[in-house]
Amino acid sequence: MTLSVAEKSYLYDSLASTPSVRPDGRHQHQFRPIEIYTDFLPSSNGSSRIIASDGSECIVSVKAKVVDHSLDSDLLQVEIDIAGERDDSLITESCTSLFNKVLRSIDTKKLQLTKKYSFKLFIDVLVLSSNSYPVSLISFGIYSALNSTALPKLVSNFDDLEVEELPMFHDYDLVPLEVNAPLVFVLAVVKNNIFIDPAANESEVANNGLIVSWSDGKVIAPIRTIALNETNTKGFNPQLIQQGIKLVDQYAEEIAKALTNL
């Protein structure tokens, strides 16, 4: 997105001033409205589709597979495909690595079936279109997809170390997966102010971006900075990180609730 110099300075001044004015009048902590649809892919164990008000959209599928967890201990695998970007592009790779890290906060005990076998979850993300940095969209997608995931119910014995048999499942009964999926927030730093969920034009003038992860009531690692644009990026006051974490701490609970309230 290219903006004119006059637009940029107008936006920058509005966002940098105290009190700040966002171009759509939002509060510092206010998200843009989103739409969520879940469980529309019958061939996946869980699925979700998130649409932001600016038309950014992401589709997530969760598929489960039974694996021997002594051979394959990596029980969560995220793959991200961003339309219009190559698989080896910087943004795709950095998002993939971020989410593979963030999802380590999930307790994989929940995926264990028997002493030998576990479910492995393949989380495939398709970003259909995105106007700003897509990680919070993706994290909302993964969050709702995991919440809509249901796995087959085990009918064979838990202790299968002695018996040579594969786990057996109930013909149609499913058990909802209950995990505390993490959320990831993008914050934009403009001078001494910090904003949640920057829109495309806000990202364009931001001095820096902050990625803050959150799970189960607290801020977790990784926390990262990212450059949201190529022209305006510069250093910022470290106190803003504290401020950003506080902001996430304060509002993440409410967002998690809004996302689960289907």
Partner 1 sequence: MSQFEVYSPEGLRMDGRRWNELRRFETSINTHSHAADGSSYLEQGNNKIITLVKGPTEPALRSQLDQTKATLSISVNVTKFSKFERSKSTGNTKNERRILEMQTALVRTFEKNLMLNLYPRTIIDIEIHVLQQDGGILGSLINGITLACIDAGIAMYDYISGVSIGLYDTTPLLDVNSLEEAAMSCVTLGVVGKSEKLSLLQVEDKIPLDRLENVLAIGIAGAHRIRDLMDTALRAHAEKRVLNASKR
Partner 2 sequence: MSEVISVVSRNGAFQKTMIMEEFSSDESEDDYNMTGSEDEEEGEEGAEKSSSKPTSKKSSKNIDSELMTPGELITSDPIWMRGHGTYFLENDTYSSVAGRVSKVNKLLSVIPLKSRYAPETGDHVVGRIAEVSNKRWKVDIGGKQHAILMLGSVNLPGGILRRKSESDELQMRSFLKEGDLLNAEVQSLFQDGAASLHTRSLKYGKLRNGQFCQVPNSLIVRSKNHTHNLPGNVTVVLGVNGYIWLRMTSSMDLARDAPPGGSTQVSGGEASGRAAGPTGAVSLNPNASLSITRLEEESSWKIYSDENDASITNQLKQTISRYANIIKALAFCEVGITHERIVLGYEASLAYSDVGALIQRDNMEALGADVLNAERMRGNAE
Query: Angle CA(221)–CA(198)–CA(55) in degrees, nearest 5?
Result: 110
Provide the pairing of β-strand 76-82 with 117-129: parallel
- 135 to 194, contacts with partner 1 by CB under 8 A? none
Nearer to partner 1, 25 or 84 (CB): 84
Rounded Cα distance, 54 and 130, in Å: 9
Nearer to partner 2, 42 or 235 (CB): 42
Residue 202 binds: one of partner 2, partner 1, none (C-beta under 5 to 8 A by kind): none
Shortest spacing between CB 252 and partner 2, in angstroms: 9
Residue 216 binds: one of partner 1, partner 2, none (C-beta under 5 to 8 A by kind): none
Rounded Cα distance, 257 and 162, in Å: 43
Shortest spacing between CB 51 and partner 1, in angstroms: 9
Give me the amino acid identity at 106.
I
Query: Does the N-terminal peptide bond of residue 19 adopt cis geometry, omega within 30 degrees of 0?
Result: yes
Q: Would you count residue 39 as binding partner 2 (CB under 8 A)?
A: yes
Give me the amino acid identity at 93.
E
Rounded Cα distance, 71 and 63, in Å: 19
Shortest spacing between CB 61 and partner 1, in angstroms: 4
216 C-beta neighbours (distance < 10 Å), count: 16
Nearer to partner 1, 57 or 202 (CB): 57
Residue 83 binds: one of partner 2, partner 1, none (C-beta under 5 to 8 A by kind): partner 1
183 C-beta neighbours (distance < 10 Å), count: 22
Among 24, 27, 55, 260, contact with partner 1 (rule: CB under 8 A): 55
Nearer to partner 1, 144 or 215 (CB): 144
Nearer to partner 1, 87 or 165 (CB): 87
Q: Which helix (H) or strand (E) holds 256?
A: helix 239-260
The contact mask relative to partner 2 for 73-102 (x = CB under 8 A, - = no) is ------------------------------
Would you give the DSSP letter of residue 33? Answer: P
